[in-house]
Amino acid sequence: MDHPLLVSYLRWIVLFPLIGAIINGVFGAMLQKRFGKKAISIVACSVIGLAFIFALRAFFHLVSVEPEQRYLLDSVLRWIHIGSLQVDIAFAVDPLSGIMILIVAGIGGLIHVYSIGYMRDDEAYWRFFAYLNLFSAAMLTLVLADNLLLMFVGWEGVGLCSYGLIGFWYKEHENTTAGNKAFIVNRIGDAGFTLGVFIIFWSLAESGHGTVIFRDLSHTIHYLEGQMVWGLPAATLAALCLFVGAAGKSAQIPLYVWLPDAMAGPTPVSALIHAATMVTAGVYMMARMHFLFSLSPVALGVVATVGALTALFAATIGLAQFDIKKVLAYSTVSQLGYMVLGIGVGAYGAAIFHLMTHAFFKACLFLGSGSVIHAMGDEQDMRKMGGLREKMPLTFWTFLISTFAIAGIPPLAGFFSKDEILWQTFSGGHQFLWLLGFAAAAMTAFYMFRQVFMVFFGENRADEHTQEHLHESPPVMTYPLVVLALGAVFAGFLGVPIALGGSNIFEQWLAPVFAGGHAGPAVQHHIEATEYILMAASVGIAAAGIFLAYLMYYRRSVSPDIFTAVGGGVPYRAVFNKYYIDELYHATAVRGTLAFSWLSLNFDRYVIDFIVNGVAKVTARVGWAVGRFDDWIIDGLVNALADVTFGIGNRLRQVQTGNLSIYLYVIVGAVAAAQFLPRIPVEVLLPVIMLFVALVVVIGIALWLATRRIPWRLMFTKEGVSQLR
């Protein structure tokens, strides 16, 4: 991994879907109008198909080299080179991202094909596939990024695209509200992700090893040991901040509330977001940053606890839902809790294994529910369904297989992956968390088979018009179901544990990535005995859940009212209403934000604006007063003094008459004054001179005003000043 294998084709895994998004997004309306929806389908499905082919090429390239050399790097171009921050737009494939691109492009491609039939009557067909391609490009960017900043670009990209896809039918207020909710809740998580990246980079930069490139971080992350940020260990704080981001994307407590509402989007969107792409982004990110989380037992403990609580919490809500897609939504939240639990106990390989198997059976379940909704005329209430197994045999069998898989029944995929997480949780000393996961497994089996019995068995409870039009979905929708069901059957055999005679190929494949990240094993002969017991208990509890669902919703020998009446119905109402979490958030976070916004608005309007406008008015008044003072007093006095001086000079000029006798009198007077004035004391002479000068000035002004014919009373008025000018 220190010397990656340089290639130049990884970029096309991202570029092909991006090109498809541009073609359909810019020219789609014209193409659809001129060539029909088939042209849109060809573009959208072909580009994701090409991305899958290149993903296969990268995967087999990894297979062909030695485990320690399994790192392909495609450096596209220089991006940010500022000081110690050296980041390029570069894509990398190692055993972990190699699995992820196959899941995203492969299962995403099947969802594209399924969408051809599901969305065929939608007028905005071109826009839907443009969003779908762009979403795939963003998710592939996230997975292939060789650094945290480029991962964040894909991270934000899937959030933006999910906003458009969830609210695709934007004319209905419920859909736009769900899109807004997903976008806003994810922004909360993204703030944590961003802060975590900053803490990692700047903390490492202080030790001279600032980087955000994954392969470099794996070697330099130990420099965080001993560093403190805000009084907390830097590694712990950074890991917890990244986990906030993961909780937003992967729908963990308390940021899970957006995911059930995301069911407002078209069913293919639900399958794409909930199965193979967006919700797995947080789990993948934590697996990618496993070397950071392994530095902090505190952070791992928080992650494991939140994961186990989420698995159980969401499972309890799923027990009482009647919307076919909402049941699957809470199932997704619960299964993501298992994956996060796996990360928290250091079972990184088991978490990714469950991510992979879950992608198959959950995509099949969502697309199967879409097939049912399509046949039922957009009806989603399971209380109005029933008896569909005869009308929709292919949908029924694929749905049933995937239900067995998610319930953890051997030898289907979910059994191997879920059991591995539970086993590593127990063997790692987290018995209480194992108990939470164990209880969630029982509930999962119950509510999933409750769904099967309500939808496919018994009498159909729809209206006559709907019953007359019940039919199996077209092949373009059922063939992807078959492929996904096959994955739900066989994908688990990649991770058969040693206790069952396997070699856990999947874990061996990921070993170079997670080297040193697993919890240490206990004594082998004790482990196998305990593992068999726990395995049998897990299957037994799942079987018990299935049997209870069979008695209640197929045989109807046990009434659900027995359970709904427990505690006066309070627990049931709490579960049915999803513990009133949405109402709580609305009463606190939403109303609090609105109240703060209202206060800010009125503070700005009545305080800030009052101060600003008041200062402006006072300044204007002062300016007016200064202007008047300047015009009337300063300018008036200056101009008046000038005019008086001119007038006096004009009058004195008349003294120069040219008469010699007058000149002689002046000379005589001057000589007399020269003889007489020195004898007068200075204290007498100065006042006399000043009085004389003042008298001359006053007389001069009076004479000047008389010549201008200006009354004294107007001298210092605006009118008088204007006349003076």
Supply the angle between the helices 281-288 and 148-166 in degrees, to the nearest 10: 170
Cα–Cα dist 671/678, whole Å: 12
Residue that terminates a domain, selected from 549, 576, 603:
576
- State how far the alpha carbon of 184 is from the alpha carbons of 160, 163, 189, 248, in Å: 10, 9, 9, 10
3-state secondary structure of 427: helix
676 and 619 housed in the same domain:
yes
Cα–Cα dist 557/443, whole Å: 19
What's residue 407's pLDDT? 94
Under DSSP, the state recorded for 295 is T
Amino acid 625 reads A
In a domain, 548, yes or no: yes
Query: For the ranges 189-193, 554-558, 658-662, which has the lowest average pLDDT?
Result: 658-662
- Which residues does 120 contact at the CB level (< 8 Å), separation at least 6? 37
Select from 715, 533, 584 the least CA-distant residue to 639: 715
Range among 484-488, 554-558, 625-629, 719-723 with highest mean pLDDT value: 484-488
446 and 510 housed in the same domain:
yes
Cα–Cα dist 665/701, whole Å: 27
Residue 443 structure tokens: 């509930």
pLDDT tens digits for range 57-80: 999 999 999 988 999 999 999 999
295 and 417 housed in the same domain:
yes
115 and 185 housed in the same domain:
no
244 and 317 housed in the same domain:
yes
Q: How many domains does the chain have?
A: 3
- Which residues does 698 contact at the CB level (< 8 Å), separation at least 6? none
- Which residues does 293 contact at the CB level (< 8 Å), separation at least 6? 239, 286, 299, 300, 303, 343
Residue 674 pLDDT > 80: no
Supply the angle between the helices 125-144 and 37-63 in degrees, to the nearest 10: 10
Residue 474 structure tokens: 């077209």
Cα–Cα dist 179/161, whole Å: 10
In a domain, 257, yes or no: yes
What is the DSSP secondary-structure string of 630-698?
A: IIIIIHHHHHHHHHHHHHHHHHHHTT----HHHHHHHHHHHHHHHHHGGGS-HHHHHHHHHHHHHHHHH
In a domain, 21, yes or no: yes
What's residue 520's pLDDT? 41
666 and 700 housed in the same domain:
yes
178 and 126 housed in the same domain:
no
Cα–Cα dist 201/574, whole Å: 44
Residue 598 pLDDT > 80: yes
- Asked if 499 and 420 touch (Cβ cutoff 8 Å), the reply is no
What's residue 700's pLDDT? 67
Under DSSP, the state recorded for 228 is E
When pLDDT is cut at 50, 70 and 90, the band that residue 650 belongs to is confident
205 and 101 housed in the same domain:
no
What's residue 651's pLDDT? 67
225 and 253 housed in the same domain:
yes
Cα–Cα dist 222/48, whole Å: 39
In a domain, 546, yes or no: yes
Residue 113 structure tokens: 């094909």
Amino acid 59 reads F
3-state secondary structure of 556: coil
Cβ count within 10 A of residue 165: 25
378 and 473 housed in the same domain:
yes
Select from 279, 247, 414, 409 the least CA-distant residue to 344: 247
**Of 643 and 131, the one with more pLDDT:** 131
Residue 724 pLDDT > 60: no
Q: What average pLDDT score do residues 594-619 get?
A: 91
3-state secondary structure of 376: coil
Q: What average pLDDT score do residues 314-327 get?
A: 93
In a domain, 603, yes or no: no
Give the β-pairing of 72-82 and 5-6: parallel
Q: What average pLDDT score do residues 212-241 get?
A: 91
Cα dihedral 620, 626, 629, 632 sign: negative
When pLDDT is cut at 50, 70 and 90, the band that residue 698 belongs to is confident
- Asked if 348 and 342 touch (Cβ cutoff 8 Å), the reply is yes
What's residue 161's pLDDT? 92
Residue 102 pLDDT > 70: yes
Mean pLDDT (the chain) is 88
In a domain, 592, yes or no: no
431 and 514 housed in the same domain:
yes
Q: Which phi and psi angles does 385 have, rounded to 5°?
A: -110, -160
What's residue 524's pLDDT? 46
- State how far the alpha carbon of 425 is from the alpha carbons of 308, 353, 698, in Å: 10, 15, 109
Beta bridge partners, 233, equal 228
What is the radius of gyration, based on Cα positions, of the chain?
42
Beta bridge partners, 90, equal 75
Residue 154 structure tokens: 């894909």
Residue that terminates a domain, selected from 576, 598, 620:
576
What's residue 441's pLDDT? 95
Q: What average pLDDT score do residues 113-128 get?
A: 91
When pLDDT is cut at 50, 70 and 90, the band that residue 725 belongs to is low
Query: For the ranges 157-171, 174-188, 296-310, 690-704, which has the lowest average pLDDT?
Result: 690-704
Residue that terminates a domain, selected from 556, 576, 596:
576
Under DSSP, the state recorded for 521 is P
Domain containing 457: what range? Answer: 147-576
pTM over 0.85: no
Amino acid 45 reads C
What's residue 707's pLDDT? 60
What's residue 523's pLDDT? 41
In a domain, 605, yes or no: no
pLDDT tens digits for range 366-393: 999 999 998 888 889 999 998 899 889 9
What is the DSSP secondary-structure string of 497-518?
A: -GGGT---HHHHHHTTTSTT-S
Where on the phi/psi map is residue 429: left (φ > 0), alpha (ψ -120 to 50), or beta? left
Supply the angle between the helices 431-456 and 324-344 in degrees, to the nearest 10: 160
Where on the phi/psi map is residue 462: left (φ > 0), alpha (ψ -120 to 50), or beta? beta
Instruction: Using CB atoms within 10 Å of the CB of residue 111, give its burial: 0 to 12 exposed, 13 to 18 middle, 19+ buried.
Output: buried
Residue 439 pLDDT > 80: yes
- Asked if 318 and 286 touch (Cβ cutoff 8 Å), the reply is no
Percent of the chain scoring above 90 in pLDDT: 62
Under DSSP, the state recorded for 408 is T
Residue 293 structure tokens: 């989380």
- Asked if 145 and 91 touch (Cβ cutoff 8 Å), the reply is yes
Cα dihedral 365, 261, 359, 503 sign: negative
Residue 521 pLDDT > 50: no
What's residue 706's pLDDT? 64
Where on the phi/psi map is residue 228: left (φ > 0), alpha (ψ -120 to 50), or beta? beta
430 and 555 housed in the same domain:
yes
In a domain, 582, yes or no: no
